[in-house]
Homo-oligomer: A and B are copies of this chain.
Amino acid sequence: MDTHQTSLSPQSPTHAQRLDRLAELAVRVGLNLAPGQELVMTAPVEALPLARRITEQAYRAGASLVTTILGDDEMALARYRHASEDSFDTAPGWLFDGMAEAFRRGAARLAIVGDNPTLLAGEDAERVARANRARSIAYRPALELITATAINWSLVASATPAWAVTVFPDLPAEAALARLWDAIFAASRVDEADPVGAWAAHNARLMEKRTMLNARRYAALRFRGPGTDLTVGLADGHAWMGGLSTAKNGITGNPNIPTEEVFTTPHRTVTEGVVSATKPLSYQGTLIRDIRVRFEAGRITEAQASTGQAVLERMIGTDEGARMLGEVALVPNSNPISRSGLLFFNTLFDENAASHIALGQAYSKCFLDQNLDAAALDAAGANRSLIHVDWMIGSAETDVDGIDATGIAEPLMRAGEWVK
């Protein structure tokens, strides 16, 4: 069958219909918004069409109020171009405190991602780092409610012009935007006959892997591939998550659309070995390429990159926890995002193309006991940091073993695919 013809057939949904379906997925599958629940949404201003659809879908689902904070790249750039040198440690704490208060009052949280991956690439790295650090500190109370899944929250993507030309640098701007939308709709299962049903089936498959891994109680995972021989210790009492997540407010949704990973919390002091990234990392406007890192007793002791090394070093220098692991995730190489062959320059997509690790803050929900306090999380090995940065270490050449408490290894993935 000619796929091109299919996409032009009268049955093909229009862009507006696909936007509506994505909006419906965001509200009903991603958030599973409860009737009467308030919604706090953030979005780049270029994502206004999707944000409007989501607003409508949220009200249809019974939202008591939808409040959207629109961000603008040009305003962000104006700061770096025109603000005084001593101003870069300021952050809108009043806004983030307000968002945390909304979450405490029961609001759900949706973020539309569509960032220009290279927005800040030309700006002064020291200023960018200072501004991000101030922002991270100010955002921490709100972020902790999110990482602890106090509330139902979700991420969904909108294509934006600057992002599209980064992903498709050889296409004219309009074609690039259309192609990025196609990729987002496909990865988000919008083009399936029954998108909501397709998500139910997908969530069931992820649940199968979670259940298997949780039953094994591995002490560590070992990743091997080109430039990689890394043993990641797992936290005591860790639990594997992925797909559906039940927030402490009792609502079960999909925090990421799309998502292909199962993931858990490493023990922050146990990781050993070397690891090479299999994709470039887009971090706060800069592309970091060919990351190669050595871990000793859980801490990064050597870090190299072919481009963006200064940004990488600043990133891992954010705080003590920034050079230790907060997440390890398994993703089969054969999934739709991986098969697209695209580098999205966006973690929401790229982390789902490959197995990955994250530096920084751990998810406290990735434990059998969901009610561990800070001291207990610390004792179990959970990491703490202002950052949480995923980077991709899996590929079609990656093998993963699970290692039990007695040191016996069993194969989990071979050549990037699940063994069973």
| Contact mask for chain A residues 194-212; partner B; CB cutoff 8 A; 1 contact, 0 none | 0000000000000000000
In whole angstroms, how far apart are the Cα atoms of A63 and B383 in the complex? 36
* CB contact list, A39-69 vs B, under 8 A: 40, 45, 48, 51-52, 55-56, 59-60, 62-69
A215 within 8 A of B: no
Contacting A65 at CB < 8 Å: which of B35, B91, B97?
Answer: B91
Contact A59 B82 (CB under 8 A): yes
> Given the complex, which residues of B lie within 8 Å of A56, measured CB to CB?
78, 81-82
> Given the complex, which residues of B lie within 8 Å of A48, measured CB to CB?
45, 72
> Given the complex, which residues of B lie within 8 Å of A91, measured CB to CB?
65
Contact B38 A90 (CB under 8 A): yes
> Given the complex, which residues of B lie within 8 Å of A67, measured CB to CB?
92, 95
A190 within 8 A of B: no
Contact A105 B98 (CB under 8 A): no
> Given the complex, which residues of B lie within 8 Å of A66, measured CB to CB?
75, 78-79
Task: Place the interface of chain A in its size category.
Answer: 35 or more
With A45-B48, A48-B45, A97-B101 already in contact, the answer to whether A68 and B75 are too (CB < 8 A) is yes
A83 within 8 A of B: yes
Contacting A69 at CB < 8 Å: which of B35, B40, B69, B105?
Answer: B69
> Given the complex, which residues of B lie within 8 Å of A59, measured CB to CB?
78-79, 81-84, 87
Contacting A68 at CB < 8 Å: which of B60, B72, B97, B98?
Answer: B72
A175 within 8 A of B: no
A234 within 8 A of B: no
Contact B75 A90 (CB under 8 A): no
Q: How far in angstroms is the closest Cβ of chain B from A73? A: 10
A113 within 8 A of B: no
With A70-B70, A84-B62 already in contact, the answer to whether A78 and B98 are too (CB < 8 A) is no
> Given the complex, which residues of B lie within 8 Å of A62, measured CB to CB?
84, 87
Contact A52 B65 (CB under 8 A): no
Contact B95 A97 (CB under 8 A): no
> Given the complex, which residues of B lie within 8 Å of A97, measured CB to CB?
98, 101
Select the residue from A35, A45, A74, A78 with max chain B CB neighbours within 10 A. Answer: A78
> Given the complex, which residues of B lie within 8 Å of A105, measured CB to CB?
94
Contact B94 A107 (CB under 8 A): yes
| Contact mask for chain A residues 232-244; partner B; CB cutoff 8 A; 1 contact, 0 none | 0000000000000
Q: How far in angstroms is the closest Cβ of chain B from A340? A: 32
Residue of B nearest to A41 (CB): B75
Contacting A70 at CB < 8 Å: which of B36, B45, B82, B95?
Answer: B45
Contact A87 B64 (CB under 8 A): yes
A102 within 8 A of B: yes
Contact A94 B99 (CB under 8 A): yes
> Given the complex, which residues of B lie within 8 Å of A101, measured CB to CB?
94, 97-98
Residue of B nearest to A75 (CB): B55
With A97-B101, A99-B94, A101-B94 already in contact, the answer to whether A87 and B65 are too (CB < 8 A) is yes
> Given the complex, which residues of B lie within 8 Å of A74, measured CB to CB?
52, 55
> Given the complex, which residues of B lie within 8 Å of A45, measured CB to CB?
45, 48, 70
Q: How far in angstroms is the closest Cβ of chain B from A123? A: 13
Contact B98 A82 (CB under 8 A): no
Residues on A close to B: CB < 8 A?
A: 35-36, 38, 40, 45, 48, 51-52, 55-56, 59-60, 62-70, 72, 74-75, 78-79, 81-84, 86-87, 90-92, 94-95, 97-99, 101-102, 105, 107
- Complex A-B: 25 CB contacts under 8 Å: A36-B86, A45-B45, A45-B48, A52-B74, A55-B74, A55-B78, A56-B78, A56-B82, A59-B78, A59-B81, A59-B83, A59-B84, A60-B82, A62-B84, A64-B87, A65-B87, A66-B75, A67-B92, A69-B69, A70-B72, A94-B99, A94-B105, A94-B107, A98-B98, A98-B99
A60-B82, A69-B69 known; 15 new pairs, CB 8 Å cut-off, are A36-B87, A45-B45, A48-B72, A52-B72, A52-B75, A52-B78, A59-B81, A64-B87, A64-B90, A65-B79, A66-B75, A66-B78, A94-B105, A97-B101, A98-B98
